[in-house]
Structure 1
Amino acid sequence: MQYSGWPESGELVVGEVDEIEDFGVFVDLLEYEDKRGLVHVSEVASGWIKNVRDHVDTDDVVVCKVLDVDQSAQQIDLSIKDVNDHQRSDKIQEWKNEQKADKWMELAFGEDVSDEQFSSVANALVGEYGSLYAGFEQAAIHGPEALEALDLTDDEREALVDTARENVSVPYVTVTGYVDLESPNGDGVEDVRAALEAAEGNGEVPDEVDLEVTYVGSPEYRIRVQAPNYKTAESQLEESAARASEAIEAAGGTADFHRDRRTDEE
């Protein structure tokens, strides 16, 4: 996706070296429509520069810092030397992610999608999440809920979610806890089974969460939660253990939640 406006001073931009002169380097901005900037020779690299081509070559992809923008003069002043290695790496990765998201838009709506629809959907995602890629990532994690506040049709939401879940690799974290479940009743096995069903959420666990309860060794059961972030994972783990405890205690039994496995140690 290319922006139709102008970059702002201080912004990092990705560009392709188009022309090299003794006084500096002309760079086509790959994220902006029909925008070109100049890196003065003094901003190409630190120290004295004998030959600009010792530092950049035509068609090189570079990350620049925007020093100044003069819209009336159609001029954008850039610096290559003011971008450190960490900033350069992060910006290139961000740019590559946006290229992926552009392709996902085509997958979601077809190569023949109109410019109007593409821009409308893309602007909605960028306005809400800051980038196309972030919008797809949120759609993959949270599903239609992530797009509820956006001015999109139901078909557009469905297309985005389906495409996101097929293509976006979402980073997940896993947390584990253990719960001991015991019941003194004659039908204590049924009490424990009911508690385990409660721990599993009875179908009410969020779509982005994978929760699994498995038998370790009487009376111990493992609760394993996989979620997009630690906060959600920990919350779901604690809620699962709480549901199991409430169910078994309502039947007259006991529950003990702990983070470390005990069976092999006792």
Structure 2
Amino acid sequence: MKGRLPKEGELVVCKIVKINPHSAVAHLVEYDVDGLIHVSEVASRWVRDIREFVKENQYVVCFVLEAKPNVISLSLKKVHREDAVRKLNEFKRERRSEKLLEMAGKSLGKTLEQTKNEIGQLVIEEFGSYTKLFELALKSPELLKSKGLSEKWIKAIVDIAKKNFEEKTYEVRGILKLVSYEPDGVEFIKKVLLKAKQKGFDVHYISAPKYMLIGKGKNYKEVENKVRAIAEEITKEFKRYGEASFELEK
């Protein structure tokens, strides 16, 4: 992707390549360009030594503050932990998917470079990523043909997908605290927790007054949003009977 620039506000995977007294040079792996993290953008608190937060050759997720041909300004402190985990997981899956694409090309007697030259641009334009290509190869292989891939490539990709590709399931957990001083408070608790179970969430008793709320799915951010939404619904309803709070597990 040499020559392309990220968008302002985008989250990007970076490798720390050099540390200066008041900044760190980070290589944007997905764009093959370098950016700069100023010491003021490393952490929300005062930073005495930037090396306490980043090391050379470390992979981190950064927020793009500014992206111009001559300067790319990055921030670490603007990235939430959950978003960093999600982005790194996506990055790892995309690198693995690139390996699978290489295997598909090899089955047709082509190198990775030849494979990318032949179908790489088409895949990115039509599917957005190599990972999405292999996901669709498992779910809807007929869609690959409608996007312009030839029969030989479809067969090679589907064969590799069936043997090697498995969609990752993300799990998001949080702690519900429910306290009721009503005589039938236990029944109120059962009632609101049943609502979560009916919507596909797992609920486990930890110890009074704590309950573990668990959501699962293929998209981390979507699962997190659903867990937050059902937790908000439960706490809002339960406050008519007592005290309620929720905290997402880090």
TM-score by length of 2: 0.63
Mapped contact 1:141–1:170 kept (Cα < 8 A): no
Mapped contact 1:140–1:170 kept (Cα < 8 A): no
The offset of 1:9, in angstroms, is: 0.8
Mapped contact 1:128–1:150 kept (Cα < 8 A): yes
Structure 1 position 156 matched with structure 2 position 156? no
Please point out which of 66, 69, 89 is paired with 2:67.
69
Mapped contact 2:94–2:131 kept (Cα < 8 A): yes
3-state secondary structure, aligned to 1:26: strand
Q: Which residue of 2 aligns with 1:53?
A: 51
TM-score by length of 1: 0.59
3-state secondary structure, aligned to 2:63: strand
Superposition pairs of residues 5-84 of structure 1, within 5 angstroms:
5-33=4-32, 35-71=33-69, 73=70, 75-84=71-80
The offset of 1:167, in angstroms, is: 1.2
Mapped contact 1:126–1:132 kept (Cα < 8 A): yes
CA–CA distance in 2 between the matches of 1:167 and 1:43? Answer: 40
Mapped contact 1:129–1:135 kept (Cα < 8 A): yes
Question: Matched residues, percent identical?
Answer: 32
Change (3 A) 1:158 1:4: farther
What are the ranges of 5 or more consecutive residues in structure 1 without an aligned counterpart? 173-227, 229-266
CA–CA distance in 2 between the matches of 1:130 and 1:29? Answer: 18
3-state secondary structure, aligned to 1:151: coil
Deviation string for 1:185-230 (max 9, x for gaps)? xxxxxxxxxxxxxxxxxxxxxxxxxxxxxxxxxxxxxxxxxxx9xx
CA–CA distance in 2 between the matches of 1:36 and 1:165? Answer: 37
Superposition pairs of residues 170-181 of structure 1, within 5 angstroms:
170=167
One-letter amino acid of the counterpart of residue 43, structure 2: A
Structure 1 position 126 matched with structure 2 position 93? no
The offset of 1:171, in angstroms, is: 6.8
Structure 1 position 85 matched with structure 2 position 81? yes
CA–CA distance in 1 between the matches of 2:75 and 2:90? Answer: 19
Structure 1 position 97 matched with structure 2 position 93? yes
Q: How many residues align?
A: 168
Superposition pairs of residues 224-235 of structure 1, within 5 angstroms:
none
Q: Which residue of 2 aligns with 1:217?
A: none
One-letter amino acid of the counterpart of residue 59, structure 1: N
CA–CA distance in 1 between the matches of 2:95 and 2:62? Answer: 18
One-letter amino acid of the counterpart of residue 16, structure 2: V
Higher radius of gyration, 1 or 2: 1
Please point out which of 87, 110, 113 is paired with 2:111.
113
Mapped contact 1:69–1:77 kept (Cα < 8 A): yes
The offset of 1:151, in angstroms, is: 2.4
Q: Which residue of 1 aligns with 2:189?
A: none
Superposition pairs of residues 152-231 of structure 1, within 5 angstroms:
152-170=149-167
3-state secondary structure, aligned to 2:126: helix
One-letter amino acid of the counterpart of residue 133, structure 1: T
CA–CA distance in 2 between the matches of 1:90 and 1:84? Answer: 10
One-letter amino acid of the counterpart of residue 30, structure 1: V
3-state secondary structure, aligned to 1:48: coil
Please point out which of 119, 137, 140 is paired with 1:139.
137
The offset of 1:123, in angstroms, is: 2.3
Mapped contact 2:94–2:130 kept (Cα < 8 A): yes
What are the ranges of 5 or more consecutive residues in structure 2 without an aligned counterpart? 170-217, 219-250
